[in-house]
Amino acid sequence: MTEHSRLSSPEDVAAVNALRSSVMRLSRRIRHHGMSAARKKWDGEESLSPTEMSVLGTLFRCGPCTPSELARKEHVQPPSMTRIIAMLEAKGLVRLEGHPEDRRQKVVSQTEQAQGLLEEARRQRNAFLAELAEGLDPQEWEALRAAAPVLEKLAHL
């Protein structure tokens, strides 16, 4: 498949543009609700950046990782990830432990406090999205339910 094979007609161009725009806008709105919930739940004095929340989410999904694995998964340079990990560790949200097979490496894992923060943020985001979905008619809701696996696939390609 070529780079622009899905953009062969004006309708395809319009569809891709609408999908990109709406997914980005919806993502920002959902992220904002999750971030505000996380900030309320977390007892720390400093707020968490979107990058810090993303790293915590990656640890939740993938489990403990080395800093270099986290940097790859988050698409940041290793020195940047080292700083992010240090900030999260100072906030009590991650811990560093020795690697079980390589004594030169460390493994980063999230703390129970981070798990609670992520669960609350996820609950708030899901509630917000469910509230938005209340405005859909039954046919729109069915179309959204059918599109969910396709959007999931796109997110992980």
Q: What are the DSSP calls for 21-47, one per residue?
A: HHHHHHHHHHHHHHHHHHHHH---SSP
Going from N- to C-terminal start, the domains of the chain cover: 9-155
The predicted structure's pLDDT at residue 1:
45
The CATH class given to the 9-155 domain equals mainly alpha
Q: Report in angstroms the alpha-carbon separations of 87 from 47, 74, 94.
A: 11, 16, 9
Q: Are strands 94-98 and 106-110 parallel, antiparallel or unpaired?
A: antiparallel
SS3 88: helix
Over residues 118-143, the pLDDT tens digits come to 888 888 889 999 999 999 999 999 99
The predicted structure's pLDDT at residue 38:
58
Within 8 A by CB and 6+ apart from 117, the residues are 38, 41, 42, 48, 56, 93
The predicted structure's pLDDT at residue 9:
87
Token couple for 30: 């959902």
Q: Are 133 and 127 in contact (CB under 8 A)?
A: no
* Surface-to-core class of residue 38, CB atoms within 10 Å of its CB (0-12 exposed, 13-18 middle, 19+ buried): buried
The radius of gyration computed from the CA coordinates of the chain, to the nearest angstrom, equals: 19
CA distance 90 to 114: 12
Predicted TM-score of the model (pTM): 0.70
pLDDT average per 10 residues of sequence, the chain (157 residues) = 68 90 90 65 65 91 94 94 95 90 88 90 89 94 94 83
